[in-house]
Each structure stands twice: as C-alpha cells, then as structure tokens.
Structure 1
C-alpha cells in the first residue's frame, strides 16, 4: 500500500486520524444533482439521511448546494447560502460529533457555513473560481480539500488537453499547495478531481496512477461515486453504478486513499473493512 506523508487533520483543536480510511457521505441540497436519489429537499429528510449515513459508518458528511455535474446550471450565491447554511446548522445541532464538510467554491458560502458549524471546506475549483478562497480558509483555520479542476462546471469538459496527464495535474496542484501554505492553511487534503476536466480514459489513467499523488505529502480523497466513468463505461445508468463504485473505491484504497466520498455509505464502509482485513491493519475508527 502506498503511504501518505500526513495522516491527521485538526478539527476544532482535536486530531482526526486518517491512518484508517474514512467514509464521507454526500448530502446534496440541490434539485439537479446527477444522481437523483442523492437529492435532499426537506429538513426532515436531512435528519433521516444523515442519521442513516452515521448509522452505516460515515464519520463525515459533505453538504452541497450547487450541482457541479458537467453542464450544470449556475446557482446564485444567495440561493446557495440559503440551501446549505441552515442544513449545516441543523446537522451541527442534532449530530454534534459529526464532521461536516461544505462543498462550495465560494468563499462567502464557505465562511457562513463554517460560522454555522462546518468543519471542512471542500472546494471543487481548487481556488480558481474565487480569488478570496485561500485567504478565507487560512483565516478560518479549517482543513481544506483542494480538488483539481480546470474552467467551470459549464466549460470543464472542453479543457481536457494535457501534455502528460498525471505529472501535469500534480504540477497544477503543487502550485496551489505552495500558495495555500504561504497563506497559512493548516491542513490540506488532495482530491485529483475524477470527472472534472478529464475524459473517461483520462479518469482511468488517473485511477491507475493514483499513488503518484502521495508525492504532494497530503491525505487523498477520492470521489468517484456513481460517476460517468463508471456508468458510461459499463453502458448503464448512475442508478445501477453501485457495484462499479465499490470496485473503484477498493482500487483507491489499495493506492492509499484516506477518504472515500460516496453516495452509499454502507458498501464503502464494508469495502474499507475488507481491505483492512486483507491488509492486516487493525480496525480503529470504522466500525
């Protein structure tokens, strides 16, 4: 198994151990996410879904109010804030031990979310869509998920030209890592950005070479749950892509992924347990 340089992140003064892979459940507060079953529209539904994910073994939930699927419609900043902030405050109240991530590329939404209980900022744009994001994250002192993307959700599918795919992506992430560390961001998690400004063959090349990203010295998050690289390759729908998701999650674990971001928590937790048993690693967190 490939090793990462750093295996902890600090959240509100406590260290979170990532030496045992964690499962992050996806909670979409949107009407147009690519996987319809992940959409959440009422606070009662939020409570039920969050409770079920925690029961199934998630240690983190990622709350998003802006669909970033290819070609997704734009959402105003006020609307995005109104979608996610009340949900985050609600989760923080009812599930005080839960680690909450906010999925946003806007610094203002990130700030309001952290002030209302979010612990991690998950920025799919890696700072390119908001010049104030890095400074905001540094000021808030929260862990930051740095994802690789080019362009916007509306244009990224046209920005897939790379001279050397993996070295180029690592280089682009490295440049941002330097800026983040200079700004004083304490904890950074790397997400290679499956499906974002990458073709299907490029996604699989990325998966094959995932361990190369440990050169960046940060924990790795993998988010391939029910994505097009699975259902388009298998000629199925997103609704039928759970088996493929589990297979690629397992391959990710074999290459040292620290966090699996998923729609389906229980199968991911089971994959972690079986991978740990096969690897001879004692179970610490996932139970």
Structure 2
C-alpha cells in the first residue's frame, strides 16, 4: 500500500473533535466536514485523516463509543461523496478502527503504534489494511511532563523498530507499515529539532515515513508566535526539508501551502 518512492503525499487533518489544539469544533458537523474535504481536494490533498479524539498535550481519552459516533457518519459521507479519496482513521482503539474501516477508511493511523490496544495489530493483519506506527513517550495527558532521552534519534528509532517487529510478528505485511517519529509527542523543542535534522535516518529504516509537524508548538517558540494558525509557513519549511530527506507523507492542516512546498522540493530532489 505505501510506496516509499512515490510523489510525496499530503494527508489533510480533519478533526471531528471539540478540543483539538488548532481546529477543535470547526468540523464536527457533517456539512462543515464535507466542505472542508472539498476544499482540501481542490488544494491537492491525497489522504484525509479523520480523528475523533484529541491527542494534544494534556488531553483526556475519549471512549470508543464516542469516537465511533463522531467519526463513522463523517467517514461514510466522505466515502459516498468522494469514493476515490483515501481516508485514514486516527485512533488508538481497535473497535474504532474496525468501525471506520467498515465505513470506508483504508488506513489506520495509531499514535501509540499498537501499544494502546492489544487487539489493534491483529485487526490490521486480519483485514490487510495499512497502518502508521507513531512514536510517543507517555500518553497525551502526560507526554509533555519533562520528557527525557539519552539520544532522541537513537532512542526513537529503537522503539519504532520494536513496533515494526511487533507488527510483522502479528502478520502485517512490510508494505503496509509506515512509521512516524512523533514530532511534539513527548518531545522537547531540542528533541523535535534533532529529529527534523536526522529524518534521513528514519527513511533509512526501510519503511514509508509520515511527518506531522503541522502548527506544532515548538515551532511557535522558535518563531516567537503563540497562535497555531501563524505557523503555516514554518510547517511548509519542514515539509520541504522532509521531502529532500526522503519522507513521503505529510500530515497537515494547511493543504495548499504544504502541497506547494512538497511539489517544489520534490522537483529539486528529482533533479539531484
């Protein structure tokens, strides 16, 4: 499913939650969600990532039933109106993933890399769908409470390799596995910068790589801005750098700017 050598793909974020850090409550109705999907398609999106639970720092977990009530009607509507559009479900719970797949989702994006629910990896293996395994230190509730690493790149690569091995042992095909270093998920600013400076090391692990920096707080501290919406340009810079490093998927709020950044960087990379 995942093609490491293909043109970079833009994954548009569609949070159907009341409390996400940047866009909470904006797309919780069916009409608003479909309008946003249409806009993202016009701007060049490749995948829509639908989430029913905020994973911002300090957030509390949301029950499976509540997540299903939030995401399934919207996934069904997107799949009906845009049947060729790839839909990803952003969840850590196998029951939510299963319901979303039945509604039309075709990718599972799990910020716990299967650690949040022991049934997740077996589900993915049984249905033959692809999964994105992300690194997170701690939980969303506690992850920014003094995270520590001996060496962020080495430590996170080791954990991701463990999760890759667990996925393979569960029966998931290598081509159905992507990894995500988890920018901002239990990382200090210097850890995030270190990860971005060494994205090629994650690419060299041999799997598709997703990068999710969109509007993240650590960039605000560098740019001296406090509003997430002011970090569109900063996000696009990381997208361009990621393309040059070999990253091939980018999870973003602002599709147009990042589509342009990815396309220009890709053209430069091809010329190299």
Count the aligned residue pairs. Answer: 269
Which residue in 2 is equivalent to 1:91? 78
1:110 and 2:100 matched: no
Q: Do the aligned partners of 2:132 and 2:179 also contact (CA within 8 Å) in 1?
A: yes
Structure 1 residue 86 displacement after superposition: 1.0
Task: For residues 39-75 of structure 1, give each alpha carbon's deviation from its aligned partner in whole angstroms, at most 9, with x where no partner exists.
Answer: 3121111111101111111110000010000001321
Which residue in 2 is equivalent to 1:225? 214
1:184 and 2:184 matched: no
1:47 and 2:47 matched: no
Structure 1 residue 231 displacement after superposition: 1.2
Secondary structure of 1:171's aligned partner:
helix
Structure 1 residue 251 displacement after superposition: 1.1
Secondary structure of 2:78's aligned partner:
helix
Q: Give the Cα separation in 1 of the matches to 2:25 and 2:244.
A: 27
Q: Give the Cα separation in 2 of the matches to 1:117 and 1:36.
A: 23
Secondary structure of 2:204's aligned partner:
helix
Secondary structure of 2:208's aligned partner:
coil
Q: Among residues 175, 190, 194, which one is paired with 2:162 in the alignment?
A: 175
1:202 and 2:191 matched: yes
Q: Among residues 214, 234, 237, which one is paired with 1:247 in the alignment?
A: 237
Q: Do the aligned partners of 1:111 and 1:140 also contact (CA within 8 Å) in 2?
A: no
Secondary structure of 2:138's aligned partner:
coil
Q: Give the Cα separation in 2 of the matches to 1:58 and 1:157.
A: 30
Counterpart mapping for 1:1-287 below 5 A: 9=2, 18-36=5-23, 39-158=26-145, 160-186=147-173, 187-236=176-225, 237-280=227-270
Q: Do the aligned partners of 1:151 and 1:159 also contact (CA within 8 Å) in 2?
A: no
Choose 119-128 or 152-161, whichever is displaced more: 152-161
Q: Give the Cα separation in 2 of the matches to 1:259 and 1:190.
A: 10
Q: 1:146 to 1:53 in 2, by over 3 A?
A: same
Stretches of structure 1 lacking an aligned partner (at least 5 in a row): 1-7, 10-15, 282-287
Q: Give the Cα separation in 1 of the matches to 2:202 and 2:124.
A: 22
Task: For residues 237-285 of structure 1, give each alpha carbon's deviation from its aligned partner in whole angstroms, at most 9, with x where no partner exists.
Answer: 202111111111111111111001110111111112211232336xxxx
Q: Give the Cα separation in 2 of the matches to 1:242 and 1:67.
A: 20
Please report the RMSD computed on the Cα atoms of aligned residues, expressed in angstroms. 1.7
Q: Give the Cα separation in 2 of the matches to 1:172 and 1:280.
A: 31
Structure 1 residue 234 displacement after superposition: 1.4
Q: Give the Cα separation in 2 of the matches to 1:72 and 1:22.
A: 28
Q: Do the aligned partners of 1:124 and 1:148 also contact (CA within 8 Å) in 2?
A: yes
Q: Give the Cα separation in 1 of the matches to 2:159 and 2:204.
A: 13
Stretches of structure 2 lacking an aligned partner (at least 5 in a row): none
Q: With the length of structure 2 as denominator, give the TM-score of the two structures.
A: 0.94
Which residue in 2 is equivalent to 1:13? none
Q: Do the aligned partners of 1:221 and 1:259 also contact (CA within 8 Å) in 2?
A: yes
Which residue in 2 is equivalent to 1:4? none
